[in-house]
Amino acid sequence: MSSENKIDASTVPLPVIKVLMIDDDPYYCRFTKELLSRQENCLFEISTVHTMDEATDAIELEPPHIVVLDLNLRETQGLSTLDKLGDLAISCPILVLTGIDSESLGLEALSRGAQDYLVKQFITKDSLVRSIRYAVERHKSEEQRLRMAAIQDFTAMLAHDLKVPVLGSEKVLEALLAKQLGDLNETQLSVLQSLRDSTQKQLQLINKLLEIYKYETNALKLVLRPLEPLKLLTKCVRQITNNLNVEIQIDRANLPANLSIVGDPEALEQLFANLLDNAIKYGDGLSPITIKLHNAQDKLSIDFHNTGPTLPEGIQKTLFRKFWQGIPGKTYVANTGLGLYLCHRIAQLHSGNLTCKSSEEEGTTLSLKIPVVKEQATKASAPKESRESI
């Protein structure tokens, strides 16, 4: 690396953590400041107050990144001090300091909202710095988790509220197209058909949002039981081929007889249907879709293959992320990025995983791997008929 590309560490600003220390012992406050001033990888801006009233004023004036609290102040003692501060510093992590070496007291402090608990006489520079930095980062992570949960709740509520009027619109459009409300000319029929198609797409998106919410929040309880994946997959394939003019081949040459997995049939049907829909949508429309089932290291591998447009290697790694939409201008762009993410989530809940391989020579394959029932994992059986077209 040339000297021009090297980063001068002295020019990189150090992270700054604003600490409010609440302790009525001025000597211990100075001791703590001295400990934190020796830290080289982080700057601590420390403010000290001695009473809860002073703490209230300080927090209102400028909320700190963390509060370091002595439980025993002149006007309040013990865990009641933590409770009072918790009402004031709702958005701040709290690190408790005390002179009492009691494990039960420490656990009780944590259960009441403290991020960590340190005994004064055992504090060192390293332990104090580590506790402060970890407490700040844990608090950030928790805030992010709560923020994402709130977004999920809002999305689910919005999708639920939108579903009723969209369903109503679809019913009205169907009635108009069926000429139940009077005759229509060809132009009117064409416009209404476009509106209904758009309404159905919106309804599908709303349903996907609601499904993802249920799977992510465990609002939908999976009913796990032994299943024969071939039977479940064949059922899904028949349902699709009854509605679409498409050839789907199932290759089970290396699949042991009566191999079973543990799963929720409705969730797995949805997973199979989404993967098949994806293979059909992005296939070339000429070659059949192939599904290969085989046993691989105590796992069932189900490969969904099409010969449509290929995916660059970088996109293959991000395909199952939420709201992934590909790269504008490229040949492969998902509508919402929700379908494959939903597949990924269902696979995870069955202790499985999804991967993608795509090349000009081989086409595109989405592979689902899911554990098989252990007693059957190593049982050798004669294979059934190798291939069938549906």
Give the domain range for residue 163.
Answer: 144-216
pTM greater than 0.85 (yes/no): no
Q: Which of 158, 190, 216 is the last residue before a domain boundary?
A: 216
Task: Looking at the structure, tell me whether residues 86 and 69 fall in a common domain.
Answer: yes
Task: Looking at the structure, tell me whether residues 241 and 200 fall in a common domain.
Answer: no
Dihedral angle at the C-alpha atoms of 6, 11, 17, 21, nearest 10 degrees? 130
Does 267 fall in a domain? yes
Task: Looking at the structure, tell me whether residues 279 and 208 fall in a common domain.
Answer: no
Q: Which of 216, 235, 258 is the last residue before a domain boundary?
A: 216
Given pLDDT bands bounded at 50, 70 and 90, which one contains residue 159? low
Lowest mean pLDDT among 267-281, 288-302, 330-344: 330-344
Task: Looking at the structure, tell me whether residues 90 and 195 fall in a common domain.
Answer: no
% of residues, the chain, pLDDT over 70: 75
* Structure tokens, 118: 């340190």
Angle at 41 between CA 39 and CA 47, to 5 degrees: 55
Does 4 fall in a domain? no
Given pLDDT bands bounded at 50, 70 and 90, which one contains residue 291? very high
Given pLDDT bands bounded at 50, 70 and 90, which one contains residue 272? very high
DSSP 315-376: HHTTTTSTT----TTSS---SSS-HHHHHHHHHHHTT-EEEEEEETTTEEEEEEEEEBPHHH
The CATH number for 232's domain is 3.30.565.10
Does 133 fall in a domain? no
The CATH number for 85's domain is 3.40.50.2300
% of residues, the chain, pLDDT over 90: 7
Burial class (CB within 10 angstroms; exposed 0-12, middle 13-18, buried 19+) of 32: buried
Predicted confidence (pLDDT) at residue 383 exceeds the cutoff of 60: no
Task: Looking at the structure, tell me whether residues 69 and 199 fall in a common domain.
Answer: no
- Report which residue type is found at 122: F
pLDDT in tens, 189-246: 888 888 887 777 667 666 666 676 666 666 567 788 899 999 999 998 998 888 788 8
Task: Looking at the structure, tell me whether residues 231 and 158 fall in a common domain.
Answer: no
Number of domains in the chain: 3
Predicted confidence (pLDDT) at residue 55 exceeds the cutoff of 50: yes
Phi and psi torsions of 227, nearest 5°: -135, 150
